């Protein structure tokens, strides 16, 4: 193998190991402490300085500013944090990412000692621990060990490059053109999807004397610009609220870097008079850039958030469903009854979304067009956002000492919200795929099959509208009616499928693929109906009208159980 190819392979392998180590750290932390970390970020963002500290702390734990940015974007998309608080936390995440990079850059000489310690300790904890969190703690330590080992490999792999005369000339040329150096730094981060390997390469060249400080500062400005790109690209297909935060952060980084770029030579000349090595100076400049970013833009988070709303304006709420949650007022948490009413109001909006999904299903069954199916995914994402927002709201409410009735009601709401989201999942993951297969395979249902599906869809939609009212009112007769509707649905389902599959009916033998698809659609509707009717069971159980999983007879003279 030629020396150049061997050097390149070793360098790529070292960078891959470094990124894998970062991934192991991030995976271990998010698996073991992910929910706590999201709650930490959400609850610590009430003030700007606390938001910066929260973003800084989360990034030091995750070892990745991009991971923190994606968590904040997901919280913003569900309305759990304000745009200004999210941007302030992102400024802290930038500072945390720079701090991590600086630590690993300066730790180069100690990597040979640290890597085996972390690898041995992490492996031992992972293998010998039986608890979930301890095993993930071992995974985190293994990841740190791999990162330090990769640091040592990067230094070793770049040693021949640093001594190359051609490379020295290229670096010198880049150093003479700060804008080119900035673009190179940004492109390198975009390719590696992380600032850490790029800053390690820059500092390793500085350590060997191949790179002068002025060129290094231009490259560091470029990698700070590129450091905002992964989160922007990762949120490209997400809701507007999730896309605004990474884009605002990227624009803040880019604007600051372009303003400082003409001063890179002067800054390098001023820093040369300081004591310490060039590696330490570069690391301090990287941290200083992000500290400056935080100091400049922290007072401006509100104007920047307003600017992002103009750059990415809200689209008019379409007629196919409501917008994001609007009634989950945090100030109402001190008054449990009002807070529960707020959550109930959002449930009514969830049922509107689910009903619209059923309307789209009915339209596809009627017209055979694929276009309405594209909207179902968007509605399911809305349902998930509502579920997450309501559950977080109820979790905040549980921190207050509730009366037994309020606590029971909060539990009923939480369970019904989950069931509505599960019903949406069945429509999105099952019904939608089956309807798409029906259209693409040109499968036609008989008039009887079509009529049966229309009738079952109508029953589920009627039950959906009733379920939210029953949950809100606690009406026992409404709960009885809903549970009886489950039995009625089962009776119709059994009759429809029985008639279709009965020997001599011709349904199964004439078109087996259409028959199988028809039965699957009916079963999916049954599952959705069960999720919808779940609102009635806590009310019926509290009233004492349930017998196991069946309703008691209303009186001795009513005869058979109405659920039979």
- At residue 204, the pLDDT reads 73
CB 62 within 8 A of CB 30: yes
CA distances from 108 to 8, 87, 105, 149, 463 (A): 20, 32, 6, 10, 65
> How many helices and strands in the chain, by DSSP H and E?
24, 2
Cα–Cα distance for residue pair 6/227, rounded to 1 Å: 28
Backbone angles phi, psi at 545, to 5 degrees: -105, 10
Q: What is the pLDDT along the chain (564 residues), one digit of tens a residue?
A: 555 567 667 767 877 777 787 778 777 777 777 666 666 666 666 677 788 888 888 777 776 777 777 777 777 766 667 788 888 888 888 888 888 878 877 765 555 667 788 888 888 988 888 788 888 888 888 887 887 787 677 666 666 655 555 555 665 565 567 888 888 888 877 776 677 777 877 777 777 666 778 888 888 888 888 888 878 877 776 667 778 888 888 898 889 889 988 888 788 888 877 777 778 888 888 888 989 988 888 888 888 888 888 887 765 544 445 567 777 777 677 778 788 888 888 888 888 888 888 888 888 888 888 877 878 888 888 888 888 888 888 887 877 777 788 888 888 888 888 888 888 888 888 888 888 888 888 888 778 778 888 888 888 888 888 888 888 777 788 788 888 887 778 887 787 777 666 655 545 445 677 778 888 888 888 888 888 888 778 877 776 666 555 555 444 444 444 333
- At residue 108, the pLDDT reads 57
Backbone angles phi, psi at 473, to 5 degrees: -90, -25
Q: Is 277 helix (H, G, I), strand (E, B) or coil?
A: coil
Closest CA to 69 of 231, 216, 304, 207: 231
Residue extents of the structural domains in the chain: 9-311, 333-558
- At residue 192, the pLDDT reads 67
- At residue 2, the pLDDT reads 59
Provide the 8-state DSSP code for 431. Answer: I
DSSP for 368-398 reads --SHHHHHHHHHHHHHHHHHHHHHHHHHHHH
Whole-prediction pTM:
0.58
- Taking phi over 0 as left and psi of -120 to 50 as alpha, with beta for the rest, 445 belongs to beta
Closest CA to 424 of 368, 358, 478, 506: 358
Cα–Cα distance for residue pair 553/8, rounded to 1 Å: 79
Question: Long-range contacts of range 111-116, CB-CB < 8 Å, 24 or more positions apart?
Answer: 111/148, 111/149, 111/151, 111/152, 111/155, 112/152, 114/145, 114/148, 115/145, 115/146, 115/148, 115/149, 115/151, 115/152, 116/145
CA distances from 20 to 16, 184, 411, 462 (A): 6, 23, 41, 51
> Which H or E run includes 294?
helix 278-297
Cα Rg of the chain, angstroms:
30
- At residue 551, the pLDDT reads 53
CA distances from 494 to 305, 444, 452, 510 (A): 56, 22, 11, 20
Q: Provide CATH code, domain 333-558.
A: 1.20.58.220
Q: Is 551 helix (H, G, I), strand (E, B) or coil?
A: strand
Say which residues have a Cβ less than 8 Å from residue 312's Cβ, sequence separation at least 6. Answer: 240, 243, 244, 247
- At residue 317, the pLDDT reads 47
């Amino acid at each position: 193998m030629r020396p150049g190819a061997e050097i390149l392979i070793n360098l790529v392998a070292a960078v891959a190991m470094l990124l894998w180590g970062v991934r192991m750290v991030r995976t271990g932390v998010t698996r073991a402490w992910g929910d706590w970390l999201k709650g930490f970020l959400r609850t610590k963002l009430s003030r700007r300085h606390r938001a910066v500290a929260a973003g800084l702390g989360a990034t030091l734990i995750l070892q990745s500013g991009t991971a923190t940015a994606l968590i904040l974007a997901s919280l913003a998309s569900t309305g759990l944090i304000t745009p200004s608080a999210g941007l302030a936390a992102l400024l802290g995440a930038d500072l945390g990412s720079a701090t991590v990079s600086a630590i690993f850059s300066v730790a180069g000489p100690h990597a040979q000692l640290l890597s085996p310690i972390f690898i041995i300790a992490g492996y031992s904890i992972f293998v010998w621990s039986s608890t979930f969190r301890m095993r993930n703690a071992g995974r985190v330590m293994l990841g740190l060990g791999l990162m330090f080992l990769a640091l040592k490999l990067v230094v070793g792999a770049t040693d021949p490059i640093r001594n190359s005369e051609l490379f020295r000339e290229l670096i010198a040329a880049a150093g003479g053109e700060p804008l080119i150096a900035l673009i190179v730094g940004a492109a390198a981060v975009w390719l590696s999807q992380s600032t850490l390997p790029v800053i390690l390469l820059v500092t390793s060249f500085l350590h060997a004397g191949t790179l002068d400080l002025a060129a290094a500062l231009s490259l560091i400005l470029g990698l700070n610009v590129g450091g905002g790109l992964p989160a922007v690209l990762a949120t490209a297909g997400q809701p507007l609220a999730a896309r605004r935060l990474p884009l605002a952060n990227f624009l803040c980084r880019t604007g600051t870097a372009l303003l400082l770029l003409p001063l890179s030579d002067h800054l390098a000349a001023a820093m040369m008079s300081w004591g310490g090595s060039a590696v330490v100076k570069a690391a301090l400049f990287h941290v200083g850039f992000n500290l400056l970013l935080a100091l400049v833009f922290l007072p401006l988070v509100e104007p920047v958030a307003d600017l992002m709303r103009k750059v990415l304006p809200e689209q008019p709420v379409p007629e196919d469903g409501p917008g994001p949650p609007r009634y989950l007022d945090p100030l109402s948490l001190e008054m449990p009854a009002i807070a529960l009413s707020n959550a109930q109001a959002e449930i009514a909006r969830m049922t509107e979304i689910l009903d619209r999904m059923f309307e789209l299903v009915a339209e596809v069954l009627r017209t055979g067009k694929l276009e309405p199916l594209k909207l179902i995914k968007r509605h399911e994402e809305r349902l998930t956002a509502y579920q997450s927002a309501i559950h977080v709201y109820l979790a905040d409410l549980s921190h207050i000492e509730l009366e037994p009735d309020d606590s029971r009601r909060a539990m009923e709401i939480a369970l019904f919200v989950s069931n509505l989201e599960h019903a949406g999942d069945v429509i999105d993951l099952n019904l939608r795929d089956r309807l798409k297969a029906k259209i693409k395979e040109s499968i036609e249902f008989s008039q009887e099959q079509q009529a049966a599906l229309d009738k079952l869809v109508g029953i589920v939609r009627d039950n959906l509208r009733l379920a939210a009212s029953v949950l809100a009112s606690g009406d026992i007769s409404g709960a009885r009616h809903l549970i009886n509707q489950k039995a009625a649905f089962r009776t119709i389902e059994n009759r429809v499928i029985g008639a279709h599959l009965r020997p001599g009916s011709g349904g199964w033998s004439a078109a087996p693929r259409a028959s199988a698809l028809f039965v699957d659609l009916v079963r999916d509707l049954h599952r959705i109906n069960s999720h919808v009717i779940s609102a009635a069971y806590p009310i019926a159980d509290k009233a004492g009208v349930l017998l196991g999983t069946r309703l008691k007879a209303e009186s001795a003279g009513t005869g058979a159980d109405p659920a039979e």
